[in-house]
A and B are shown apart, each in its own frame.
Chain A
Amino acid sequence: MSKFFDNTDLDINKAESIVSSTLNNCDDGELYLENSKSESIILDDNKIKSSNFTNDVGYGFRAITGDVVAYSHSNDISENSLKNSSKNLKSTLSSYKGNYDHQIKKTNQKFYKEIDPTDNKSMDSKIKLLNKINEYARSIDASVKQVTANFLGEKKDIEILRLGGELLTDSRPLVRVNVSIMLEKNGRKETGVYGVGGRQSYDDYLKNENWKSVCDEAFRIANTNLQSKPSPAGEMKVVLGPGWPAILIHEAIGHGLEGDFNRKKTSVFHDLVGKKVASDGVTIIDDGTLNNRRGSLNIDDEGTPTEKTVLIENGILKNFMQDRLNARLMKTKSTGNGRRESYKHIVMPRMRNTIMLSGNNTQEEMIKSVDRGIFAVSFGGGQVDITSGKFVFNCTEAYEIINGKIGAPLKGATLIGDGPSSLKEIAMVGNDMMLDPGIGTCGKAGQGVPVGVGQPSLLINKMTVGGTQI
């Protein structure tokens, strides 16, 4: 039963017949329907600055022949609109082939509950909690000058109608709570940001006054940065902390292992499957099946059940992440990585929860082994150039390491490197794998999707650090 055709002139049979007549001779395609409901409540400068609610309903109709993708989307779910889209798709795909197995494996896997986080906590209690967060954060220390806190919640229902009337559905909750604290002391200003989230209700993340620890962490980061000194510049050893710093793995290696870049041979990894690409002991997976994690999905946005995909095993490149299009063209199977930001966007191979597994070393050993280097505990944004493999990261919390000991905090440190080389420069893999707190959004070709990352502490033998001190 589809929920999307109520109050329209369509029913599932009519829609199916338009889908079939359009896709009959194509290699692949589907009608993707989406209803997303979201809220954003922001406290800023001591006030509830905005409360915004969004309801977005629409469809995306896709037809694929060979490597050509025709796509048409609209928020007018009606027979006329669907027929227009169909006409538009057919006009792009002039030569039909139609030789792909359309079947999608059925699944009952559920990695999160079907809840509406925007509904199951009242607006009033959200506002009260934001005010409590504000009061608490300002009470931590006299240096706290500005507090911003926000609740972002979403419920996204999707339906995928395929040739032959097959209907695949998923209902995805997602929340995120962020606190940003600005401190001012002796004329210097610094901020600290921390957040939590995932595919559960707000209360699951904030219960037992856990929101206080979110504020404490934001304050700790800001306070550390108040004492920071300019970062050195140049090539040196880098120890990465566990958890969120794995966005470096995500950017530096993950994107280069997405099927599209490899099918098009524009990734540095495209001819390296089966080859040694990383140090011994380095195993990296992309896992869509972790309970309640931000990057988890029951099915991907093409309907394929998600799985745990091994990308690199003990240093050897094993698999790329695939959607159906790139899998077919590379003569392999979709790994359930076909994702899109919304019905307004085409599907691409995207990461889910990308994780480097634990090894045998301790973080202490790593620090001890470094004469001069930096210890990077948390990052802001990062970016990668897939073709050259170069990536860059901005540290939001980092320390110098001198003669095996952690020294002063550093400000404005940037790490730059080259994905394939850095993988081979990993000298120690820690035994302390940790997942991130549930805050990551990955951008690719203008589309943002929620993702997770995780890793143990890592020692990287050399990387270029950008700072102002030479």
Chain B
Amino acid sequence: MIKDKNYLLNISERILTKAKKLGATDASVVVSNSVSEDINYRNKKIDGSTRSENLGAELTTYFGKKKSSLISSNLKENVLDELVEKCFVATKITPEDELNSLPDKDLHFKGLKELDLFDKTHLDNKEKIDYLKEAEEVAFSSPKIVNTNGSGFSEKKSNFVLANSNGFSDGYENSQFTAYCEVVSKENGSMERDYEYSSKRFFGDLLSPKKIGKNASKFAIRKLNPKKIKSERMTVVFDKRISKNILSVFANAISSNVIAKGTTFLKGKENNQIFKNDINIVDKSDIKRANGSKYFDNEGVKLDELSLIENGVLKNFLVDTYNGKKINKRSNGRCGGTSNLFFKKGSKTFNELINSKQKILYINETIGHGTNLITGDYSVGASGQIIENGEFKYPVSEITIAGNFNEIFKNLILADDLELNYSTNSPTMLVEGITVGGI
């Protein structure tokens, strides 16, 4: 069982009281607890089980404009005071930074609405095993699936309290259920792997085991016997698994941290047209049961719905208290990043999109970390399928795709198949003029 709110509140109050007593001008603390019970399953039997229990606190003390933080997982009665003392000693010898402060009080979250972030459902080991067994059985129903990298089911329950010396004190329980299945396909000496997974706050919202097994099998089989292709500029369609990562690059590039330092290719682009004029990007924190939903950000600041791109124009950055001061903006509750981030859906159907060019490279996997946030350059390894006249023809692998995000953003076209399955979501995406490196 996870600790209740009162238990966590007691620790947070004790830490704040001690900090004040020592002479800290301000202090904040997060006390969190989580219990996760995971099962791994492989080749018709259980492969392992893991039970994780985590309790910890992160405290920050201020002395005027000096600030320092300490994280500890040892919260026994006799060491709590010592932790605060240690943090405060470090604070006093850390140089001043005039921008250090707690968030403005009027931005504190004070809402009452219920977001449904906690599902108290508990599955015992046997129920988890049954779920994975079914997924694997379905995956193995094709003779081309010859092995498995394992499947897993995780049930995680968390609780936390965030409190600061300006009177903010709140917290909430949340849950996360995750299931995945990864299988290996083989044919004519070609061996490939692929997976499907689902992660939701409520058990009932997870993909069915049948669907997970079926997709894993389908994805691993469609990669078999890949061809290499010639280097050329091509029209590329990004599967939803990949297009959401492109949206993440956008989010990383408009964080107030990189905007303030100038280490992003989107610096100075506020109110500029950076996408086509039918593209809209929204960050919405209050969708019931959604993975990215939260009541307040890492500083206790409320989050309103934030329109980042309106008709292709960059309207807002992701702002926290500290970096906000550097760029003369108030926090919009994005300390810790976005909540539920998505492109609003486009106007073309998936079929219209893949029929819009005679030949298309459909990408459903990229590997490598080839994004340069400063220049916007993009270059990653990829695999996928060649589509000709709207038909999937053959798989390709060992290719690279490269471009620059300034161009990619300006060019991208979205399908109408948006689903809010993750905290960052995109419809299928088409981009022209990507350089494909092959033989």
Which residues from 362 to 410 on chain B have a C-beta closer than 8 Å to any C-beta of chain A? 367-370, 372, 374-375, 377-381, 383, 397-404
Are A123 and B48 within 8 A (Cβ)?
no
Interface 9-residue window, one of B104-112, B247-255, B259-267, B423-431 = B259-267
* B232, CB-defined interface residue at 8 Å: yes
B52 closest partner in A (C-beta): A73
Most A CB within 10 A of own CB, among B51, B68, B83? B51
Q: Which residues of A contact B436 (CB under 8 A)?
A: 233
Known A48-B95, A51-B68: A73·B400 in contact at CB below 8 Å: no
Which residues from 34 to 78 on chain B have a C-beta closer than 8 Å to any C-beta of chain A? 42, 45-56, 67-74, 76, 78
Known A394-B368, A464-B439: A146·B72 in contact at CB below 8 Å: no
* A194 to B193 alpha-carbon distance, docked (Å): 35
* A22, CB-defined interface residue at 8 Å: no
Are B398 and A69 within 8 A (Cβ)?
no
* B307, CB-defined interface residue at 8 Å: no
* B93, CB-defined interface residue at 8 Å: yes
* A50, CB-defined interface residue at 8 Å: yes
A58 closest partner in B (C-beta): B73
Q: Which residues of B contact A393 (CB under 8 A)?
A: 368
Within the complex, which residue of A74, A235, A388, A468 is in contact with B397, where a contact is CB–CB below 8 Å? Answer: A388
Are A414 and B260 within 8 A (Cβ)?
no
Q: Which residues of B contact A413 (CB under 8 A)?
A: 379
* A392 to B55 alpha-carbon distance, docked (Å): 38
Within the complex, which residue of A56, A231, A383, A417 is in contact with B72, where a contact is CB–CB below 8 Å? Answer: A56
Are B374 and A233 within 8 A (Cβ)?
no
Q: Is the interface of A mostly helix, strand, loop or mixed?
A: strand
* A465 to B379 alpha-carbon distance, docked (Å): 10
Q: What is the CB-to-nearest-CB distance from B410 to chain A, in angstroms, rounded to a whole number?
A: 15
Interface 9-residue window, one of A13-21, A84-92, A158-166, A280-288 = A84-92
Are B93 and A182 within 8 A (Cβ)?
no
Are A70 and B48 within 8 A (Cβ)?
yes
Are A233 and B71 within 8 A (Cβ)?
no
Which residues from 9 to 63 on chain A have a C-beta closer than 8 Å to any C-beta of chain B? 44-45, 47-58
* B10, CB-defined interface residue at 8 Å: no
* A28 to B73 alpha-carbon distance, docked (Å): 28
Within the complex, which residue of B147, B263, B377 is in contact with A266, where a contact is CB–CB below 8 Å? Answer: B147
Are A392 and B437 within 8 A (Cβ)?
no
* A408, CB-defined interface residue at 8 Å: no
User: Count of chain B residues with Cβ under 8 Å from any Cβ of A?
Assistant: 73
Known A189-B375, A387-B149: A49·B97 in contact at CB below 8 Å: yes
Q: Which residues of A contact B347 (CB under 8 A)?
A: none
* A413 to B369 alpha-carbon distance, docked (Å): 12
Total residue contacts A-B, CB cutoff 8 A? 242
Are B184 and A266 within 8 A (Cβ)?
yes
Are A468 and B399 within 8 A (Cβ)?
no
Q: What is the CB-to-nearest-CB distance from A382 to chain B, in angstroms, rounded to a whole number?
A: 7
Known A233-B435, A387-B191, A470-B232: A53·B71 in contact at CB below 8 Å: yes
* A387 to B9 alpha-carbon distance, docked (Å): 48
Are B374 and A189 within 8 A (Cβ)?
yes
Q: Which residues of A contact B336 (CB under 8 A)?
A: none
* A464 to B230 alpha-carbon distance, docked (Å): 11
Q: Which residues of A contact B47 (CB under 8 A)?
A: 67-69
Within the complex, which residue of A74, A75, A268, A382 is in contact with B191, where a contact is CB–CB below 8 Å? Answer: A268
* A242 to B403 alpha-carbon distance, docked (Å): 29
Q: What is the CB-to-nearest-CB distance from A284 to chain B, in angstroms, rounded to a whole number?
A: 22
B404 closest partner in A (C-beta): A468
Are B90 and A53 within 8 A (Cβ)?
yes
Are B398 and A390 within 8 A (Cβ)?
yes
* B94, CB-defined interface residue at 8 Å: yes
* B233, CB-defined interface residue at 8 Å: yes
Known A55-B74, A392-B400, A464-B400: A182·B97 in contact at CB below 8 Å: no
Are A466 and B401 within 8 A (Cβ)?
yes
Within the complex, which residue of A55, A71, A81, A466 is in contact with B49, where a contact is CB–CB below 8 Å? Answer: A71
* B86, CB-defined interface residue at 8 Å: yes
Are A387 and B193 within 8 A (Cβ)?
yes
Q: Which residues of A contact B95 (CB under 8 A)?
A: 47-48, 127
Are A467 and B402 within 8 A (Cβ)?
yes
* A50 to B70 alpha-carbon distance, docked (Å): 11
Are A71 and B381 within 8 A (Cβ)?
no
Are B149 and A145 within 8 A (Cβ)?
no
* A412, CB-defined interface residue at 8 Å: yes
Within the complex, which residue of A50, A233, A414 is in contact with B370, where a contact is CB–CB below 8 Å? Answer: A414
Known A52-B69, A145-B262, A146-B262: A470·B49 in contact at CB below 8 Å: no
A189 closest partner in B (C-beta): B374
Which residues from 438 to 470 on chain A have a C-beta closer than 8 Å to any C-beta of chain B? 464-470
Known A233-B435, A466-B400: A69·B72 in contact at CB below 8 Å: no
Are A233 and B437 within 8 A (Cβ)?
yes
* A186, CB-defined interface residue at 8 Å: no
* A19 to B226 alpha-carbon distance, docked (Å): 50
* A464 to B436 alpha-carbon distance, docked (Å): 11
Q: What is the CB-to-nearest-CB distance from B2 to chain A, in angstroms, rounded to a whole number?
A: 13
B186 closest partner in A (C-beta): A387
Known A53-B71, A68-B46, A234-B439: A127·B93 in contact at CB below 8 Å: yes
* A222 to B37 alpha-carbon distance, docked (Å): 46
Are A76 and B53 within 8 A (Cβ)?
yes
* A344, CB-defined interface residue at 8 Å: yes
B90 closest partner in A (C-beta): A51
Are B72 and A392 within 8 A (Cβ)?
no
* A68 to B67 alpha-carbon distance, docked (Å): 47
A234-B437, A390-B397 given; 12 more Cβ-contact pairs under 8 Å: A47-B97, A55-B72, A68-B47, A74-B53, A92-B125, A123-B93, A189-B262, A190-B375, A266-B147, A346-B50, A466-B370, A466-B402
When A and B form their complex, which 9 residue pairs have the shortest distance between CB atoms, in order from nearest?
A466-B400, A392-B381, A233-B437, A381-B369, A392-B368, A466-B437, A387-B193, A69-B48, A74-B53
Which residues of chain B have a CB within 8 Å of any CB of chain A? 42, 45-56, 67-74, 76, 78, 83, 86-87, 90, 93-95, 97, 125, 147, 149, 184, 191-193, 223, 228, 231-233, 260-263, 367-370, 372, 374-375, 377-381, 383, 397-404, 435-439
Which residues of chain A have a CB within 8 Å of any CB of chain B? 7, 44-45, 47-58, 67-76, 81, 85, 88, 91-92, 123-124, 127, 145-146, 182, 184, 188-191, 231, 233-235, 264-266, 268, 344, 346, 380-388, 390-394, 411-414, 416-418, 464-470
A-B contact pairs, 17 of them (CB 8 A): A48-B95, A50-B68, A52-B70, A56-B74, A68-B47, A71-B50, A91-B125, A92-B49, A189-B374, A394-B370, A411-B375, A414-B368, A416-B398, A464-B228, A464-B437, A466-B379, A466-B399
